[in-house]
Chains A and B, each alone.
Chain A
Amino acid sequence: MKKTKLFAIMGGFSLLMLSFIFMSLDHIDATNVAGTTSDIADFYAFEGDNPDNTVFVVTIQGILAPGVVTENASFDEDVLIEFNIDNTGDFVEDLVIQAIKRGDSIYFFGPSIPNQTGLESDVLTSAANHIVQISTIEETFITNEDGMSFFAGPRRDPSYFDFNRFIDIANGIAAPEGFYPPGESTDFFVGLNALAIVVEVPNLLLGAAPQHILESQGNINGLPPAYNVWVSAKRKQ
């Protein structure tokens, strides 16, 4: 009886997790985007080397093996990458920084107020714009203008996670042990690259930050004001 139930749960989970062949934090997280040019691998936001700046990092098209696969990976002119900044605390974007490829470069627009919020966007061509040539595996290009910095190109994937073992756990076949002990665990991403877009922005351009959402929703006291930020990938229709 117990085994029957265990197998039922395992079976159910196996079906749920069948699509999780590869990925980490958002790497190839669902079939509709897995392996496409709009597939977000991971997202980071942190204080820059200049503490008055915030840095946004997105990796896309993760799981690029070094060599030919990485050399052949390219940004898509039909995919608009948007860094979204909510500075009022309602989880609706008040500002966006847009990035899109044309030719051998990535064009950046913003931070600027979007014409519309939510699932659809147009490119804010009248917003402040900056250009950075796409870096290659041999050469790195950086644009520093107006206090902002821009980069786009292949990089080593900074994510680390024993992704394969997590799949086992999700599939119910890692019970009762769970993850492997140190020395037996494996970092799935340790030898892989991804395409990255990095923007560093003065906080002055992002407005005042609202009360930290987890003070009210998570009952955590003493947190500093914080923007709510996320990244989206949108495809031209």
Chain B
Amino acid sequence: MKPFKLNVFVVLMLSALMFVQCKDDDDNGNVIDLISCDDGIQNGDEDGIDCGGSICPPCQGDQLNFDGNFIQEDIAGRPGVNIIFGITDLSKNNYNVSEVANRTIFQEDFQEVLKNYYDIYAISLDIPIAFENNILHWNAETFTTIMSNYDALQVAPDGPTTYYDATNNLTFTGRYLSDDVMSFTLALMFGGADGTRFDGNNGTPQLTTDAVGPGDRDFTLPFPYLEDPLTQE
């Protein structure tokens, strides 16, 4: 190839490059969208068929896939029941996958655990001590039966909510955020007939309260009633 012809070829090739661009707008509006909000299938980042994600309108419940069988892994009713009365880790796992109405098998273990708490202090103090009927007049069996067999919050639709209100002689009409449920539970466990049996006074162990209150938490907020998340590290 002669130098002249080679130069023409190179110029032509370079000139041709001027007509090449990366932007693909040569369909003049006839682009076939791979993802659209009316193609009848779930694609792109859609949460359901033609809905949700970054482009489409939010999904309504009937546009999403909620199929499947869901099996219980955890459950909670009254505060602290599994933590305080679960006798072994296996037992606690079993409790979490049991039905509320089918808990009679746990009652004996719960009562044994209650006895164990007392045994620790009986040995430590070198005096024979055992559970005595609590402020609700429950003996150990009744107490642990209510904890095991009736482990739900009772919430009264008519009337104020309280987990325990000594002033108004009201119990178990729900659980408000501010209720000191753990201290009340401890008082039922260790307080005896007047709730003060092992309250730390007169040389007794302090077992009827953990001496922790809500601190600076604000429980006066409107819905959703809970404070914003803490942001400080």
Chain A residues proximal to chain B, CB less than 8 Å = 2, 5-6, 9-10, 12-13, 16, 18-20, 23-27, 29-33, 36, 38-40, 42-49, 54-55, 57-58, 64-67, 70, 79-80, 84, 86, 90-92, 100, 102-105, 107, 109, 117-123, 125, 129, 131, 137, 140, 142, 149, 151, 154-156, 158, 160-162, 165-166, 169-170, 172, 175-182, 184-187, 190-193, 196, 198, 200, 203, 206, 209, 212-214, 217-220, 222-237
Contacts and interface: CB of A to CB of B under 8 A. Distances in A.
B208 to A, nearest CB: 9
Contacts of A39: 74
7 contacts: A24-B79, A36-B73, A67-B233, A125-B61, A137-B231, A155-B226, A185-B211
B87 A234 contact: no
Contact of A234 (B72, B175, B214): B72
Nearest to A109: B61
A46 B223 contact: no
A2 B169 CA distance: 42
B76 A236 contact: no
Closest 7 CB pairs of A and B: A129-B61, A103-B47, A178-B205, A175-B124, A151-B224, A30-B92, A234-B70
B155 A229 contact: yes
Contacts of B52: 102-105
Contacts of A232: 72, 74-76
Given A25-B83, A29-B86, A30-B95, A228 B154 contact: yes
B83 A230 contact: no
A161 B181 CA distance: 9
Contacts of B74: 26, 29, 33, 38-40, 232-233
Contacts of A16: 86-89
B71 A45 contact: no
Contacts, number: 391
B72 to A, nearest CB: 4
A132 to B, nearest CB: 10
Given A90-B101, A179-B210, A120 B70 contact: yes
Given A29-B82, A46-B176, A156 B217 contact: yes
Given A32-B93, A38-B74, A226-B172, A185 B86 contact: no
